[in-house]
């Protein structure tokens, strides 16, 4: 049996999101640690737009979109092909020591990234719960 | 994903800020010290921070994209501030020169205090980052629960 029938694309996608989030976390943590390092260049990982694009291009073979108001279902583009971009985080440099870390921004990103990670984990958990429910409770 | 790398980076930040704090404390303590083993008044010290690459034991394909972009912070050295000493007129002082001036350390309380605040805030930011890392790692374990 194809395991994809049971563990749909959704889980694969969420897995990918967790990967990206944890990489992004590492970059944010690195920026925070180097807050006082002269000439340190802050970096950020951007993947949201590409993920959104991948989801928008969706439209599974089984479910045709016959009206503009229909939402696409399923993910056609291989989510493993999404390549996140590394950007150098701020465009302006305000400090004298050529350090480009904006601590308020980094802390905000830290919290946001943390919350979004938790969201993805929660959804994966619910997904598994749903599968378990279908297996166990079906016979009653 | 290894959260251990993230923890390693944050703890390097903590230790660097702690060393900076030690240096600031030493400066404040010796603000009026006129005798040192090297001779002359105490001279202000400061730290040099340098970003250094983190070597992660778990390198995967995704990792290679952020490779070379993740740095921990190291204290590369402690340097002496070469600005001139403060001169105070105090002819009765045993370390006074022929004109009656005593050379005092080139330390200003305000500067040290501000550096101290900055070090404290940076330390706190790293603690927050460690807590966030811990949160994510624990949350990931919840997938397998229930």
Predicted ipTM?
A: 0.81
Most confident option among A40-44, A72-76, B111-115: B111-115
B131 close to A (CB below 8 A): no
Confidence band of B31 (pLDDT split at 50, 70, 90): very high
> Distance between CA B55 and CA B12 in Å, rounded?
13
Q: Annotate chain A with three-state secondary structure.
A: CCHHHHCCHHHHHHHHHHHHHHHHHHHHHHHHHCCCCCCCCCEEEECHHHHHHHHHCCCCCCCCCCCCCCCCCCCCCCHHHCCCEEEECCCCCCCCCCCCCCHHHHHHHHHHHHHHHHHHHHHHHHHHHHHHHHHHHCCC
pLDDT of residue A61: 47
> Distance between CA B13 and CA A30 in Å, rounded?
9
> Distance between CA A110 and CA A108 in Å, rounded?
5
Query: Does B17 sit within 8 Å of A36, measured CB to CB?
Result: yes
Q: State the smallest CA–CA distance between residue B95 and chain A in angstroms.
A: 37
Residue A4 has pLDDT above 70, yes or no: no
* Better pLDDT: A65 or B28: B28
* Contact criterion met (CB below 8 Å) for A106 and A32: yes
**Residue in the block written with tokens 């250094």:** B52
Q: Annotate B49-91 with three-state secondary structure.
A: EEEEECCCCCCCCCHHHHCCCCEEEEEEEEEECCCCCEEEECC
- Residues of chain A in contact with residue B131, where contact means CB-CB under 8 angstroms, are none
pLDDT of residue A94: 67
Nearest CB to A33 within list B72, B119, B146 = B72
Helix (H) or strand (E) holding B5: helix B3-29
Beta carbon pairs, A and B, within 8 Å: 117
pLDDT of residue B118: 94
Helix (H) or strand (E) holding B111: helix B109-141
With a pLDDT cut of 70, the percent of chain B lying above it is 89
> Distance between CA B123 and CA B37 in Å, rounded?
32
pLDDT of residue A75: 54
Query: Does A30 sit within 8 Å of B9, measured CB to CB?
Result: yes
Q: Compute the mean pLDDT over every residue in chain B, rounded to the nearest whole number.
A: 88
* Contact criterion met (CB below 8 Å) for B69 and B130: no
B24 close to A (CB below 8 A): no
> Distance between CA B57 and CA A5 in Å, rounded?
34
Query: Does A125 sit within 8 Å of B6, measured CB to CB?
Result: no
pLDDT digits (tens, 9 = 90+) for A80-95: 677 788 888 665 666 7
Query: Does B133 sit within 8 Å of A36, measured CB to CB?
Result: no
pLDDT digits (tens, 9 = 90+) for B34-68: 999 988 899 999 999 999 888 655 555 555 566 66
Best of A7, A15, A20, A26 to mutate (most B CBs within 10 Å, chain B): A26
B79 close to A (CB below 8 A): no
Q: What is the mean pLDDT of residues A6-33?
A: 87
> Distance between CA B111 and CA B89 in Å, rounded?
23
**Residue in the block written with tokens 């890392």:** B133
Query: Does B146 sit within 8 Å of A125, measured CB to CB?
Result: yes
Nearest CB to B136 within list A22, A34, A84 = A22
pLDDT of residue B45: 93
**Residue in the block written with tokens 């005092």:** B104
Nearest CB to A25 within list B6, B126, B143 = B6
Residue B122 has pLDDT above 70, yes or no: yes
* Better pLDDT: B94 or A2: B94
- A107 Cβ contact partners less than 8 Å away, ≥ 6 residues apart: A32, B125, B128
Confidence band of A97 (pLDDT split at 50, 70, 90): confident
pTM for this prediction: 0.80
Best of B8, B51, B68 to mutate (most A CBs within 10 Å, chain A): B51
Q: Compute the mean pLDDT over every residue in chain A, rounded to the nearest whole number.
A: 80
* Better pLDDT: A66 or B45: B45
Confidence band of A5 (pLDDT split at 50, 70, 90): low
């Amino acid at each position: 049996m194809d395991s994809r029938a049971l563990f749909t694309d959704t889980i694969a996608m969420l897995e990918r999101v967790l990967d990206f989030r944890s990489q992004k976390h590492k970059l944010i943590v690195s920026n925070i640690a180097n807050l006082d390092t002269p000439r340190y260049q802050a970096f950020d990982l951007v993947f949201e737009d590409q993920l959104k694009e991948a989801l928008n291009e969706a439209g599974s073979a089984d479910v045709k979109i016959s009206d503009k108001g229909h939402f696409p279902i399923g993910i056609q583009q291989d989510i493993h092909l999404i390549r996140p971009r590394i950007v150098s985080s701020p465009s302006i440099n305000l400090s004298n020591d050529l350090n480009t870390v904006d601590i308020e921004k980094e802390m905000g990103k830290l919290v946001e990234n943390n919350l979004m990670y938790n969201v993805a984990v929660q959804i994966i958990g619910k997904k598994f719960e749903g599968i378990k429910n279908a297996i166990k409770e079906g016979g009653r | 994903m290894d959260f251990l790398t993230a923890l390693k980076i944050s703890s390097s930040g903590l230790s660097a800020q702690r060393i900076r704090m030690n240096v600031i404390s030493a400066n404040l303590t010796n603000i009026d010290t006129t005798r040192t083993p090297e001779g002359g008044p105490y001279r202000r010290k400061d730290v040099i921070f340098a970003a250094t690459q983190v070597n992660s034991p778990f390198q995967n394909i995704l990792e290679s994209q952020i490779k070379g972009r993740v740095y921990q912070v190291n204290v590369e050295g402690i340097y002496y501030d070469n600005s001139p000493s403060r001169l105070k007129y105090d002819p009765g002082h045993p370390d006074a020169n022929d004109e009656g001036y005593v050379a005092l350390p080139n330390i200003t309380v305000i500067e040290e205090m501000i550096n101290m605040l900055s070090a404290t805030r940076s330390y706190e930011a790293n603690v927050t980052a460690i807590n966030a890392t811990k949160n994510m790692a624990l949350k990931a374990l919840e997938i397998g629960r229930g």
